[in-house]
Chain A
């Protein structure tokens, strides 16, 4: 039940990394998608304006 301080600490570090890493991944994906969409929107607006 109690794996001891070393293994416990490794597990805690791994779990917190998963949570914070997931958060960063999501933010990164959103930023990249936003950039692509803004480029596409600018291109389409240019096409629509012609």
Chain B
């Protein structure tokens, strides 16, 4: 392989993951999925990584599935196998217990839109466009699009978007609440990274706990949710980030959550 399809880079507590195949419009080839899975596994297994910033290189965020590959790899058993493999990269990304910022730097099409929607905070460049495109192909929406989109904008709007073959501009996506902020193309990378850094210097482990509890919201009854909330808060308050936040608020100084978490890791030592 000429070069890495995914470039990962550490920036303090942030793991930057860049889709780095602009000549292929960052399409989700098998190799790209594999590399993305490895990057997510790195984020998952490294305690010093507190947040993730996921973005793409070039004018496209991600164009989704690789159409040329599909011509030769669409027999039923191969397709069934390929979707079973989503548990290796997509599910870990969705369930990652750390805040994920996605910088949508351009077109997010099909599976590429599905990928963008896995983020906790989306920031889009002015030229970003969200498109489904699946029904142009005669395929059903994938990469968790049918899971996320109705949850994010409601079932009726999701159906209108998908069945209508619509696309959202960055601003339309922001108006719907899919995207938290629209910035100029030049400013996107910096804005996304700044947001990921801001989250990393916050109580990122505790936010991760909240993320996991919130992810259960749509599948969980009130009584179960209250039980999870109780466990979650008990865990949060056993965490060094909480002790730091509480102390800092009481003596009116800025909290150093990242420092408190790092110190606690040092003290607990390398557990076998």
Q: Do A and B come from one complex?
A: no
Binding site for B on A (CB under 8 A): none
